[in-house]
Amino acid sequence: MIRRYIYGKPFSTEAVTETIQASEGTPAYGAVSLEKGFSFTYLMEENDIVYGLGEANRGLNKRGYCYVSDCSDDPNHTEGKRSLYASHNFIVIAGKENIGFFFDYPSVLTFDIGYTRMDTLTVSCDRADLDMYVIEGDSPYDIVKQFRKIIGRSYIPPKFAFGFGQSRWGYKTKEDFRKVAEGYRENQIPLDMIYMDIDYMQDFKDFTLNEENFKDFPEFVQEMKDNHIRLIPIIDAGVKVEKGYSVYEEGVENRYFCQREDGSDFVAAVWPGDTHFPDVLNPDARKWFGDNYRFLTDQGIEGFWNDMNEPSIFYSTESMDEVKALLKKYVEEETETVPVGELGEKLRSLANNHEDYKRFYHQVNGERVRHDQVHNLFGYNMTRAAGEAFERIDPEKRFLMFSRSSYIGMHRYGGIWTGDNKSWWSHILLNLKMMPSLNMCGFLYTGADLGGFGDDATRDLVLRWLALGVFTPLMRNHAALGTREQECYQFEKTEDFRGIIETRYRLVPYLYSEYMKAALNDDMYFKPLAFVYPEDSFAARVEDQMMIGNEIMIAPVYTQNAPGRYVYLPEEMMFVKFSKDGQITEEILEKGHHYVEVALNEVPMFIRRGKCIPVADTAQCVEALDTENLTLLGYDDSEYTLYEDDGVHKDYDNAKNYRVIKK
């Protein structure tokens, strides 16, 4: 049962695709106040669990902290951060009552979930202009599936996107990319994608190529494809201000950029220097920006990642003028002691200053809308621009697409990666806990920067993180400029890395099959244990083990120097470890608590009682996998329904894509 309550004049985010008529009266749960903006209050029972919020900090159970939906470019994901790159305003309360809430509001929204008062959930914002959806269900899992149904089918990538990808900020030339490809192929470590960060562009300009380093680009793209590797370039949100640059000039001529109140194009500094932001909330501008992706698809590119689309601002013309005025004041007044604190605070506030978000506007349906009132929709609509363009470029073909910033609704156009994390052990656990929360909000093609983006990785951390990444749909090793090189072939005993990546490829038939079933049935790929074992009170408290699909549970090791970990089994399961050279060990473990040993070069998982999964022989790329001759791993006398299509086109609902395999 889903009810919709309308307050004020909500901005149409198009997050919900089904028509749900407004309900009269007030919600049956909690209390709504419109005295100061909007506030919803709900008293929680002592044992209630609160799920949701997608890409949010801390635990799977969101209770006990305060979270702010405000898409933010902040790479330091410490426990104290309340806002990350995305805003996903869906929560589920599980306990005596099972209720879901979606607050469709595109600006700053605060979720105080037992932070101010232990028993009180408060959701609040400054303006009472929003849609509030209340979902009743038999269980939290049922509520999630109802919600997923009304927001539309999740994005489905091409099958090659389930291979392993290598990325690093700092690959600048063809030789840099060839070196990476050779490093993997010579060490026989499987690889399907190499990502192109901002250095491939000419002066950081979108939809350009460095004229010196990437001459004859279509031939280079084909060279990589001949080696079964796709190049995946980045696209940033800001368009460089430069005369003679066609994208800039077209945008200015057609008024496709976000504008100041006086009608001039808003200027913000990002990587290229001064930039304009495409007005992706304007359908005409969105179409124009999306059509520019053709510059690269025409040269053979089949996938992209969108970045800097919160949008990130290093500084604006206005904010820099304020700093200059402050410095001038000190000079003219000949101040003996410059107030370093005041100046330092002014400089620190330059980047992603909320005052800048009030300085530019969007054109939506003939009306001008100030950006801060719809801020959380920018990344969503930038990726929507690409997704809609792909339908025009080649409507039968799937393109890889994922984004940094997002809002519910973007899940129909692309996946997400969880942003600029660090090479910290705690971020392996954060990665794990985010996955089911993102699935609840429709985002299935998800993953983190394996090994960590910032700081220097260690060999053991990369191995442990890869062992989790084996199971995330997006499996990408990515590192920042100036950090330790962390490509798998850079470490000693390369065979350990090879074994883990080979395990991913052996499991692709299963992982892809379960992903497709989840996408086609508005279901989850990652699930909390409590969703599968609702009668098990202990399972509801486990946050570092997750169910994947309908057959397996994962329990990664995420602690430095740990030879293994404790796990809880809600039922008898088969403990399976993949190690190098294709070795697989199996052990039946009874329901209950166990300590399991897991070596650095092993990938652990658990198969549920009475179930089995398909396993392939490894290959150097997804395309080379033999899915006709699969081995079934698990319990005897079990069977598995495999979903398999061509991985390229969109014939999703064909019954021929399913086949039953018996063990």
- pLDDT for 32-69, tens place per residue? 999 999 999 999 999 999 999 999 999 999 999 999 99
**For the chain, what percent of residues have pLDDT higher than 70?**
98
By CB atoms closer than 10 A (0-12, 13-18, 19+), residue 365 is exposed
Q: What is the mean pLDDT of residues 506-533?
A: 98
Counted residue by residue, the chain has a size of 663
Whether 557 contacts 545, CB under 8 Å: no
**Cβ-proximal residues to 129 (8 Å cutoff; 6+ apart), any chain:** 7, 8, 9, 10, 11, 38, 105
Query: What confidence tier does 336 reach under pLDDT thresholds 50, 70, 90?
Result: low
* pLDDT attached to residue 334: 62
Sheet holding 546-548, edge to edge: 526-528, 546-548, 552-554, 603-608, 573-578, 584-589
pLDDT top residue among 238 and 320: 238
- pLDDT for 449-467, tens place per residue? 999 999 999 999 999 999 9
* pLDDT attached to residue 164: 99
By CB atoms closer than 10 A (0-12, 13-18, 19+), residue 429 is middle
* pLDDT attached to residue 301: 98
Is it the case that residue 337 has pLDDT exceeding 70?
no
* pLDDT attached to residue 40: 98
Distances in Å between the Cα of 377 and the Cα atoms of 11, 370, 407 are 11, 12, 6
* pLDDT attached to residue 330: 72
Distance CA 59, CA 122 (A): 18
- pLDDT for 364-376, tens place per residue? 999 999 999 999 9
DSSP letter string, 526-555 = EEEHHHH-TT-TTGGG--S-EEETTTEEE-
Is it the case that residue 340 has pLDDT exceeding 90?
no
Buried b (16+ CB within 10 A) or exposed e, 94-118: beeebbbbbbbbbbbbbbbbbbeee
- The tokens describing 149, both together, are 């149904």
pTM for the structure as a whole: 0.97
Q: What is the mean pLDDT of residues 149-170?
A: 98
* pLDDT attached to residue 338: 61
Distance CA 464, CA 645 (A): 31
Is it the case that residue 335 has pLDDT exceeding 70?
no
Distance CA 609, CA 550 (A): 11
- pLDDT for 592-637, tens place per residue? 999 999 999 999 999 999 999 999 999 999 999 999 999 999 999 9
Distance CA 595, CA 483 (A): 35
Q: If we measure between CA atoms, which residue out of 627, 624, 621, 634 comes closest to residue 662?
A: 634
Helix 340-348 with 317-332: angle, nearest 10 deg? 170
